Amino acid sequence: MTRRFTVRTLALALPLVALPLVAVEARQALRQSAPVPAPAALTQSRGVVDSYVRQNRAPGVVAAIGLGQTTTILKAGKLSFEGAAPTADENTLWRVYSMTKPITAMAAMILIEEGKLKLDQPISDFFPAYKNMRVLTDPDKSLESVPAKNQITVRHLMTHTAGLGYTIVTKGPLLAEYEKNGITPFTSTVGAEVQARKVRPPSLRAFAERVATLPLIAEPGTKWSYSIGLDVLGAVIEKASGMPFDSFLQTRIFTPLKMNSTYFQVPAADASRLITGYAFFGENPIPIDPGAQSAYLQPPSFPYGGAGLVMSAADYDRFLHMLQNGGELDGARVMKPQTVALALSNLLPAGVTYPGAVPNTGGAPGPSQGFGAGGSVYLVDIPGGPSKGTYGWGGAAGTIAWVDRARQLRVTVMVNYIPGERWPLRSDFSKAFYADIAR
């Protein structure tokens, strides 16, 4: 029996009472970890950071590299292409978009650990309208649908297997329905926000309830499709915890980990730390969300669990550091080691595979990866690359992050331009980094 099958079996069977049982596996994984790498020169990694600024691919780049318990910051450039902007550093604020998803998923795992949620619990327990979902018969061409056979569960939401859509990938009539109903849980520019708020639900609860009125693109639990699942999960967390979603994140993750530069709304006093967001048109970067006038200086319609956070490289490193350490950092325990082991295992429903996503939001497709709680998970060791069990995700504006627990290391790289795949930062930096630590 393989280790993946052991974790999967426990998760499928009794997700609440089984958590203590995977402690054995967590201890074994730590015992089998490779020695913490010695401090590396990171010459090639530094070269990638410097080259992206030198070649005008980004005004500024910051990478937080964790080797064992030590963090090294690589930085270059400034907060905008225009004018005499401040230099970029570990405290610069970045729009991390979908890198919010792993944080939301870990919040749900905390509640699973506490028995307030179950991994395979139907979300209709919290929002009854989800009990009677319908599935499109031909998603690309019509809104004709049939009753769903399966209930959407917590597992489905955190692994993108609920059958929900996403405006960035959904096509056809369902995309029009999402746009008409304001199912757009993200912030981009001031102008776009003015239009989005005309139809977007005003609260997280209203958002979840409205999503339940729309059909699914696939039967729950049968297909991986990038989705608003983590946004809906935020509403479930709110119900299960009995406190606002953003308050739960602040109380249970951000404050204990001293993530003091992580926001759904950037305070006015910190606007000078927010990098300008750019859109590339060919070779030309156009400023679409200047830091000083950013849409993120205003409160969002509600906290977006799938794409809402702005944060520093130092803060995201602390989040990954907690996962690397099995749920604890600097004396603050956020999750039990067995909860982290479960969250960073392949949680896909039986028979479902992860087909891969664009490079900046999850890495290469194929049998080498599965999907855990809000992020992709390597199922095998990659020669000259990530170890089996490496977990991570990326964001629409090019940000990337992963934790390789087997080698006791973690990586966060921050840029802010769209489309995130305009430049091959994930592959460039990963190749350089693993070459550096192999020396």
**264-312 pLDDT tens trace:** 999 999 999 999 999 999 999 999 999 999 999 999 999 999 999 999 9
What CA–CA distances, in Å, run from 101 to 85, 148, 403? Answer: 30, 26, 15
Pick from 373, 8, 350, 342: nearest CA to 155: 373
Q: Classify residue 203 by its DSSP letter.
A: S
What CA–CA distances, in Å, run from 128 to 119, 152, 318? Answer: 18, 11, 37
Write down the pLDDT at residue 356: 84
**DSSP β-bridge partners for residue 77:** 60
**DSSP β-bridge partners for residue 66:** 71, 410
Place of tokens 């490496």: 390
Residue 68 has pLDDT above 50, yes or no: yes
- Nearest 10 degrees: CA dihedral of 242, 243, 249, 252? -60
Residue 168 has pLDDT above 50, yes or no: yes
Write down the pLDDT at residue 34: 47
Residue 363 has pLDDT above 80, yes or no: no
User: pLDDT band for position 204 (50/70/90)?
Assistant: very high
pLDDT digit string, tens, across residues 107-124? 999 999 999 999 999 999
Stronger pLDDT, 313 or 360, i.e. the higher one: 313
Write down the pLDDT at residue 364: 58
Write down the pLDDT at residue 362: 61
Q: What length does the chain have?
A: 439
Write down the pLDDT at residue 358: 67
One-character DSSP codes across 285-326: EEEEE-GGG-GGGS--SS--TTT--EEEHHHHHHHHHHHHTT
Phi, psi angles (nearest 5°) of residue 334: -100, -40
- In angstroms, rounded to a whole number, what is the distance separating the alpha carbons of residues 139 and 137? 6
Write down the pLDDT at residue 439: 75
Q: Is cis: bond before 365, omega within 30 of 0?
A: no
> Average of pLDDT values for 241-257?
98
The tally of CA atoms less than 13 A away on the side-chain side of residue 144 is 4
Element (H, E) at 281: strand 277-281
This prediction has a pTM of 0.91
Give pairs for 258-261: CB < 8 Å, separation 24+: 258/318, 258/330, 258/332, 259/311, 259/315, 259/318, 259/319, 260/315, 261/91, 261/93, 261/311, 261/312, 261/314, 261/315
- In angstroms, rounded to a whole number, what is the distance separating the alpha carbons of residues 32 and 419? 39
Q: What percent of the chain has pLDDT over 90?
A: 85
User: 143-147, 160-164, 167-171: which has the minimum mean pLDDT?
Assistant: 167-171
Write down the pLDDT at residue 51: 98
Place of tokens 């479960």: 342
Element (H, E) at 428: helix 425-437
Stronger pLDDT, 24 or 252, i.e. the higher one: 252
Contact predicate 433/45, CB 8 Å: yes
**b/e per residue, 141-177, with b = 16+ CB within 10 A?**
eebebeebebbbbbbbbbbbbbbbbbebebebbbbeb
What's the chain's average pLDDT?
90
The tally of CA atoms less than 13 A away on the side-chain side of residue 47 is 11
- CA 261 from centroid of its chain's CA atoms: 17
Write down the pLDDT at residue 357: 80
Write down the pLDDT at residue 361: 64
Stronger pLDDT, 376 or 30, i.e. the higher one: 376
